[in-house]
Structure 1
Amino acid sequence: MNTLKRIAKFGAVGGIAFIVDVAVFNLLCHVGSDPLLQDDPFLAKAISTLIAIFLTWLGNRLWTFRGRGRTERAREFAVYFVLSLVGLGISLLCLWVSRSILGLDSPWADNVAANVIGLVAGSAFKFWSYQSFVFTAREGRRRLDEDVSAQRAVQRDARPDAPPSTLGATSHIRPTRRPAVVSEAAPEATSS
């Protein structure tokens, strides 16, 4: 799958989780006459993000990165969770800067800092890290290694008299989906 399609799927999954994240954050922190976590927006953001992390893991595992290599589910979720916590840290850092450094503490400022600026910065990090460390393309790498090995074998068979030092050099080999097939032409008979 091409990267743009994967980014679109990642965005759709993230969009659903974003709605859940923002709704839970605001319900805990700003909605009603006496919100449950009115005095602790950091805890409200942490809770809403933890719920969103689980939802995005399911969506990304089952849809966005479905065709990519997988590891054991528990390990995959653990790595995903740790990387998501880094993304949460990015959102919390934006919220902290808004409240502690800039002195902005309105619901609008909280949402812009945590759910717009923090979300964009955190999402960029998470897309890169999930693709790199969680949903890796092991299958594609295995096929590439097999193709390179097959091409080496073809070269070795095509040049049996080549010195061993040149058979291992692969800088000139360009991997393809299928290894090239070398056909041996029958020697032409010469008539006298």
Structure 2
Amino acid sequence: MREFLTKHRELLRFAVVGGTSFVITTVITYTLKLTVLRENPVTALIVGVLIATIFSYVANREWSFRTRGGRERTHEAALFFLISGVALGLNALPQWISRYVLDLQAPHVSLVGQETADFVSGMILGTLLGTLFRWWAFKKWVFPTEGARLRAVAPPAESGETGRKAA
């Protein structure tokens, strides 16, 4: 098991960041959807995803992909947010289809049916679609070079050595 965890450390960390981002997205989306954006559920989802994406950049850069790099930081951030923008569209697409193509909204379905369709399409299918795209695209374009940000480790000092040469 330890070998598996070590081999897939990057993916597992990405999944933890994704899970945390999912919670952030869900809390913000439903807070907005049940208060100020009642008539705009897709907008509520987009706002939730945007806020979670900012968290995701910092967490992925500093933890999930901490040894990867290969790009200047501003270029890396621009690519991250560009790819996240595409993923945001992929994330919102299933809910948009559910609401506006399949018309799974009140009064055509019950409120429970509408909310179930929104959750399954936006929070489950959309998140899955966006996450798969992000994993592939981040490794390919944002953090392409493995080992690019390895930190130099100073060798341990020998006992009794003070850094001066003997006379």
Normalising by structure 2, report the TM-score. Answer: 0.76
Higher relative contact order (CA 8 A, sep 6+): 2
Amino acid at match of 2:122: A
Deviations 1:70-128 (A, max 9, x none): 42222211110010011110111101111112221322211111110011111001000
**TM-score, scaled to structure 1:** 0.66
1:9 and 1:96, CA in 2 relative to 1: closer, same or farther beyond 3 A?
same
Unaligned runs of 5+ in 1: 141-192
Distance 2:61 2:116 in 1: 33
Aligned length: 136
Deviation at 1:6, TM superposition (A): 1.4
Residue matched to 2:143: 135
Structure-2 residue corresponding to 1:76 = 76
Secondary structure of the residue aligned to 2:67 is coil
Answering whether residue 61 of structure 2 is matched by residue 57 of structure 1, we say no
1:138: Cα distance to partner?
5.8
For structure 2, the residue ranges without an aligned partner over 5 or more in a row are: 106-113, 149-167
Separation in structure 2 between the aligned mates of residue 3 and residue 61 of structure 1, nearest angstrom: 19
Distance (whole Å) between structure 2 residues aligned to residue 97 and residue 85 of structure 1: 18
1:115 counterpart = 2:123? yes
Q: Secondary structure at the match of 1:97?
A: helix
Cα shift at 1:29: 0.4
Identity level (%): 32
1:108-151 Cα offsets, whole Å, 9 max, x none, are 211111110011111001000001100111657xxxxxxxxxxx
Paired with 1:54 and 1:90, the residues of 2 have a C-alpha distance of: 17
Aligned to 1:93: 93
Name the larger-Rg structure: 1
What is the RMSD of the two structures over their aligned residues, measured on CA atoms? 1.7
The equivalent residue for 1:126 is: 134
Instruction: Kindly report which structure 2 residues correspond to 1:155-170, keeping only aligned pairs within 5 A, or say none.
Output: none
